[in-house]
Amino acid sequence: MKISAIPNPFDEPNLQMIKQIGVNHIVFYDMAGMPMELDQLRVIQNKVEQFDLQLSAIEGGPPIDKIVLGKEGRDQQIENYKRALQHMGKLGIRVLCYNFMPQVMADAMVIRTSYEVLERGGAKTSGFNLSDFDPNSIPHDEPSITEEQMWESLEYFLKQIIPAAEESEILLAMHPDDPPISPMSGLTRIMSSVENFDRLLSFSSSPSNGITFCQGCFAEMGASVPNLARHFSKRINFVHFRDTAGPLNNFHETFPDNGPTDMIEVFKAYQEIGYTGLIRSDHVPLLATENVEADGYSMQGHIFAIGYMKGLMEPFWGK
């Protein structure tokens, strides 16, 4: 298993720091979309390689707003998606983490009701309380569609994209809805249960048709994270390392060592299934020494999470 990281901001001091703490793999993260031209991706790759790091994954991917809702123009978006996969393949970037939530927000409908929930020592963290959620807080003019219509859109997309991913040796990694609740603001979300992920994987047995095993989202579903890692086994193409506390309708993000999930058992499961892919820390609380927004991507919180991951990994994979 290989630890990866998102530098935030994506600058030289953070890239150097990530190398210094023993991480070799970089994830380019932008939910608003990835660079679509080969030269643009190469610029990012060159910047990363200056610090003896490897650009190994992209999160977000090309625009899919028309694809998700089955709207006019989806075929052009699919062609653009194929071209982006070709660019990734040429540069050796092998993992693409994507989601299938309706794209009516800049952060692809990842929804929280607070970023002021207090964790250990008063660290600010994010939370979601369904009773505090105002559906009107996400303005949009998209008509409601059924779950089956969205499944049809997903299958239409994957039938064309999986062969392109195979050709470019890209591992697609579907991320769960966050939170895994449907509908939200009148919009259907289908990647919100273990059963629906089984349905996704049934579309194709290709290794390119896999999942992002977001520990937090699957914990929000009420699943046993270690058992579910064993359930999905070889279909896990990427891992997000985080934990949450509380039920689905009222949860908050925790420090990775302060949540209800037994992380030793989780890593034991990864070792048992032979997972050798990328893992990255995700959504950390804000530490008192950081004067930035509590959006889950402050660097000092991630440094702590990465150190904790390295300690968890050592009994199973060594230093």
- Blockwise average pLDDT, block size 10, the chain, 319 residues: 96 98 96 91 98 97 95 97 98 98 84 97 98 93 93 98 98 98 95 98 98 98 97 98 97 97 98 97 97 94 98 89
Instruction: Identify the burial level of 11 via C-beta atoms within 10 angstroms of its C-beta, where 0-12 means exposed, 13-18 middle and 19 or more buried.
Output: exposed
Q: Which uninterrupted H or E stretch holds 18?
A: helix 12-20
The widest CA-to-CA distance across the chain, in whole angstroms, is 52
Tell the residue number behind the tokens 């990255």, with chain if given: 280
Report pLDDT for 144: 87
| Whole-number Å distance between alpha carbons of 208 and 165 | 6
In the chain, the amino acid numbered 276 is T
Q: Is the peptide bond before 226 cis (omega within 30 degrees of 0)?
A: no
Q: Looking at the domain covering 2-317, what would its CATH class be?
A: alpha beta
Ranges of H-type helices in 203-278: 215-220, 225-232, 263-273
Q: Is the peptide bond before 62 cis (omega within 30 degrees of 0)?
A: no
Report pLDDT for 104: 87
Report pLDDT for 109: 85
Instruction: Give ∠ CA 120-22-43 in degrees, rounded to 5.
Output: 105
The token pair that represents 203 in the structure block: 């579309």
The token pair that represents 50 in the structure block: 């200056």
Report pLDDT for 107: 73
Are 190 and 154 spatial neighbours (Cβ–Cβ below 8 Å)? Answer: yes
Cα separations (Å) of 53 from 86, 95, 204, 310?
A: 22, 16, 33, 18
| Whole-number Å distance between alpha carbons of 121 and 194 | 34
Report pLDDT for 318: 84
Strand order in the sheet with 243-245: 114-118, 124-129, 250-254, 243-245
The token pair that represents 12 in the structure block: 């030289």
| Whole-number Å distance between alpha carbons of 194 and 218 | 8
DSSP three-state, residue 187:
strand
Q: Which uninterrupted H or E stretch holds 3?
A: strand 2-5
